Amino acid sequence: MADKKKKFYITTAIDYVNASPHLGHAYEKIAADCIARWHKLLGEDVFFLTGTDENAQKNVKAAKKAKIAIKQFVDSNAKLFIKLCKKLQISNDDFIRTIEERHKKVAQQIFELLHKKDLIYKGNYEGLYCTGCEAFKTEKELVTGKCPEHPNLQLELLKEEAYFFKLSLYQDRITQLLEKKYFVVPEAKRKEMLSRIKEQGLKDLCVSRKNLKWGIPVPFDKEHTIYVWIDALTNYISALEYPKGKYKKYWPADVHVIGKDINWFHSVIWPSLLIAADIEIPKTILVHGFINIKGEKISKTTGLVIDPFSITESYGVDSFRYFLLREIPFGQDGDFNEKALVARHNNELADKLGNLVSRTAGLTEKQNTKVKQVKQGQANKTLFKKLKLKEIQKHMQDYELDKALHKIFDFIDDCNAYIQEKKPWQEKDKEKLNNILYSVSDSTRIIAILLWPFIPETAEKIAKQFEFEIKSFDDCKPSLLKLSKIKKAPILFKKIGLEDGLKKATKSGELKKGLRKGL
């Protein structure tokens, strides 16, 4: 009997559909996709979930402002997020929408379960509410009287009857959980949560709103709607058909990929709800930073956005993916800069990777013969030893995606230097020539496998050109390229100028208002 594959369940946060997708949504999905694809290369049974949060009141306000019926509004915008996933080559296995019946059923089930366990009670709430965060704010959380994440939004003073979850009961359990090194990554984000609990403690959590027409009704009290965080967070199990179906196979989540602004909800509130419901907690909360434009956070609320559809139209999907993964150390804030994107496209993708593939194919085709397989040839060993496979693995294990890419491109540099040193165009000895060409061809095969999680479309083009299939990380060893007649193909990355990208985007008709703001 074949060995059972190790499972790997990874999720992104679900996105509000109050406006079109922006660069921040694209970055989170691309990073999660890179991790998911890496685990597929490792031979694991991967399940990758993303989706949209459609029951939030900010969606209702946006629909009202647009003078569109709320259901029509969320349907239309949800399609844009689905389109974005396809455009960016995201390999998600499911896309959950919180207005779906499968989600509604589970959210109500969890709410009722907690109520029956006497962990939810009715009371009255009075406090300041931020519609941008969909959360009540304490005085300690405010900066000069405003929400630090949405300083342009007016806080609302709300006083109403509500149901509360006994979050305060779980302070010790959550503190112990956060003391585990790998529960929240990176380290700084874990310590932030511990500090906040130490300073503020855990207070019972408001989990319903009264007399709202949009949202999931509390199952035993139709005057109340389930508050967005209990509703939204349960998507991670509702998509798995809790308590049966895929839930039994894939839960607990191995990685929740989220932005730093919702760390508290995922690192504190979510595990508290799960512990209360006797459900196993996720293994890792992986927190990324914000993408800024000249230091200012991208936000649909403020209108400072970059349209990922236009950027990919201008520069290509893989150049966009590569830039974000290489430019921004995971967990840190990053600055989006089109000039930097163009520089990386030209200097790294075109001059290094593209040049290696083009030269290798061109030199091989020039010989008008098949490259013969070399069984652990000396030249191949010499070149392969320069590849830091274990370091790449460790970087990926630690979610240091930019560092893993850096090591892969170090090897690309080594391959280009090898060609320059060996000068195959001058080699008269056919056996030596074959060894040189086989070494760089086989190394290019390994490079394509390693790049597949980052720039899948390009990696698959290389695989087709060099006549092999991308299957497994185990294939990243020398002398596995079979007899092959490698032919030249269209250039992988044509050099571009910033103005070329702008013209192409404008011509496509997808250049949105505000796209270049701050650049």
Same domain for 292 and 351, yes or no, is no
**Low-confidence residues of the chain, pLDDT below 70?**
1-3, 294-305, 368-369, 376-379, 498-519
Q: Is residue 469 part of a domain?
A: yes
CATH number of the CATH domain containing 288: 3.40.50.620
Domain hosting 471: range is 337-475
| Alpha helices (H) along 423-517 | 430-451, 456-465, 498-508
Q: Cβ(39)–Cβ(59) under 8 Å?
A: no
Same structural domain for residues 259 and 115?
yes
Beta strand segments in 54-119, E: 94-97
Q: Please state, in angstroms and rounded to a whole number, the distance separating the CA atoms of residues 71 and 213.
A: 12
Residues 300 and 354 occupy one common structural domain: no
Is residue 171 in a domain? yes
Task: Give the torsion sign (CA, 259, 265, 267, 270).
Answer: negative
Residue 329, in any domain of the structure:
no
Instruction: Tell me, yes or no, whether 46 and 185 share the same domain.
Output: yes
Establish how many alpha carbons lie within 13 A of residue 160's alpha carbon, considering only the half-sphere containing its beta carbon. 18
- 172, 173, 177, 179: CA torsion to nearest 10: 20
The 10 Å CB-count burial string (b at 16+, else e) for 395-426 is bbeebbbbbbbebbbebbebbbebbeebebee
φ, ψ of residue 354 in degrees (nearest 5): -60, -40
Asked which of 265, 290, 305 is the last residue of a domain, the reply is 305
Q: What is the DSSP string of 347-402?
A: IIIIIIIIHHHHHHHHHHHHTTSPBPP-SS-HHHHHHHTT--HHHHHHHHHTT-HH
Q: What is the DSSP letter of 515?
A: T
Q: For residues 112 and 189, give the distance between their C-alpha atoms in angstroms, rounded to a whole number.
A: 32
For residue 130, what pLDDT is reported? Answer: 82
- Distance in angstroms (rounded) separating the CA atoms of residues 352 and 342: 14
Measured distance CA(2)–CA(5) in Å, rounded? 9
* Eight-state DSSP code of residue 477: S
Note whether 147 and 260 are same-domain residues: yes
262 lies in the same domain as 343: no
**Same domain, residue pair 300 and 346:** no
Neighbouring C-beta atoms of residue 359, cutoff 10 Å? 19
50, β-bridge pairs: 95
Catalytic residues, by residue number, are 22, 25, 130, 133, 147, 150, 297, 300
In terms of domains, do 33 and 148 share one? Answer: yes
Q: What is the CATH number of the domain that holds 430?
A: 1.10.730.10
Per-residue pLDDT at 506: 41
Q: How many domains does the chain have?
A: 2
In sequence order, the 6+-apart residues with CB closer than 8 A to the CB of 442 are 374, 380, 478, 479, 480, 481
CA 495 to each of CA 316, 342, 405, 452: distance values in angstroms, whole numbers, following the listed order? 12, 9, 20, 21
Say if 155 falls within a structural domain: yes
Q: Are 139 and 165 in contact (CB under 8 A)?
A: no
Per-residue model confidence (pLDDT) at position 501 = 55
Same domain, 269 and 166: yes
For residue 32, which phi and psi values (nearest 5 degrees)? -65, -40
431 by Cβ neighbours in 10 Å (0-12 / 13-18 / 19+) ranks as: exposed
Instruction: Clarify whether residues 342 and 301 are in a common domain.
Output: no
Q: Which of residues 257, 287, 305 is at a domain's end?
A: 305
301 and 342 assigned to the same domain: no
* 506 inside domain: no
In a domain, 233, yes or no: yes
130 within domain boundaries:
yes
* C-alpha distances in Å from residue 309, one per residue of 34, 88, 305, 439, 502: 19, 9, 12, 39, 13
Cis peptide before 282 (omega within 30 of 0): no
* 458 found inside a domain: yes
Six-digit token pair at 403? Answer: 């560092």
- CA nearest to 14, candidates 73, 100, 87, 137: 100
262 & 360 share domain: no
